[in-house]
């Protein structure tokens, strides 16, 4: 008898790499994933270029980058692989999107820092900050919703949400605040944008995720539960 693919309280399926390679609509999922990852990395750069602070993780990345004389994106990539160790007790599965996230977000962040201009005025800075937070939250939901595996940081969010049976919004806020305090202690770029990002990102992801999640209708070789197929 074939075992149904289990669904989770977050509305996401925790699939193995093998199952992801046999999932329905794989090319479309890959395109959605890369679109989300690109928007995510560029929006992180947009927030930094606003001059109003960085995302909580980038407060930490920027602080480490300054001490190590590396780019923010390079530190982001290196830390991504370190964070994967924290997935072990959460039983979170490394997927196609996990590897892509670990590498491409940092690369697109550095690309954005090179392409995007710094804010010259306060109104421009505020507009860049607001746009960055919205794009980042929607982009995060887009690549998570492709169901090809969460990134290292979002795997902590979805993994804790599943284990604790809590919405991803509050879980994300708690993680962002913890990272923010660590980055601030190391001298990272804390500002208004950091606070807005930390408080606003979780709710944006929570609102956007149901609209961009691509349900798992079939995985070759496995049966999908009826509950999962109608989400």
Predicted pLDDT of residue 222: 60
Does the reported pTM lie above 0.85?
Answer: no
Q: Please, are residues 79 and 134 in contact by the beta-carbon 8 Å criterion? A: no
Summarize the confidence of residues 197-222 as an average pLDDT: 84
Rounded to whole angstroms, how far apart are CA atoms 143 and 127?
24
CA-wise closest residue to 152 among 231, 99, 75? 99
SS3 sequence, 135-178? HHHHHHHHHHHCCCCCCHHHHHHHHHHHHHCCCHHHHHHHHHHH
Cβ neighbours around 220 below 10 Å, total: 10
Question: Quick one: pLDDT band at residue 5, thresholds 50, 70, 90?
Answer: very low
Q: Please, are residues 44 and 130 in contact by the beta-carbon 8 Å criterion? A: no
pLDDT, tens digit (0-9, with 9 covering 90-100), for 189-203: 999 999 898 788 888
Q: Where are the domains of the chain?
A: 17-229
Question: Quick one: pLDDT band at residue 39, thresholds 50, 70, 90?
Answer: very high
């Amino acid at each position: 008898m074939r075992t149904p693919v289990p669904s989770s309280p977050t509305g996401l399926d925790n699939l193995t790499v093998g199952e992801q390679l046999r999932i329905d609509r794989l090319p479309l999922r890959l395109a959605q994933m890369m679109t989300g990852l690109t928007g995510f990395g560029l929006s992180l750069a947009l927030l930094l270029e606003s001059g109003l602070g960085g995302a909580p993780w980038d407060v930490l990345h920027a602080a480490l980058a300054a001490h190590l004389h590396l780019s923010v994106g390079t530190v982001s990539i290196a830390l991504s692989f370190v964070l994967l160790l924290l997935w072990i007790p959460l039983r979170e599965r490394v997927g196609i999107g996990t590897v892509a996230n670990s590498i491409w977000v940092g690369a697109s962040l550095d690309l954005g820092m090179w392409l995007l201009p710094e804010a010259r005025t306060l109104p421009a800075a505020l507009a860049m900050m607001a746009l960055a937070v919205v794009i980042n939250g929607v982009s995060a939901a887009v690549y998570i919703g492709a169901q090809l595996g969460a990134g290292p940081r979002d795997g902590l969010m979805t993994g804790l949400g599943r284990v604790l049976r809590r919405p991803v919004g509050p879980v994300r806020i708690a993680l962002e605040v913890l990272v923010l305090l660590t980055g601030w202690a190391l001298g990272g770029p804390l500002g208004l944008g950091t606070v807005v990002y930390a408080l606003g990102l979780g709710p944006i992801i929570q609102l956007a995720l149901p609209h961009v999640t691509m349900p798992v209708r079939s995985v070759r070789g496995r049966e999908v539960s009826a509950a999962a197929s109608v989400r």
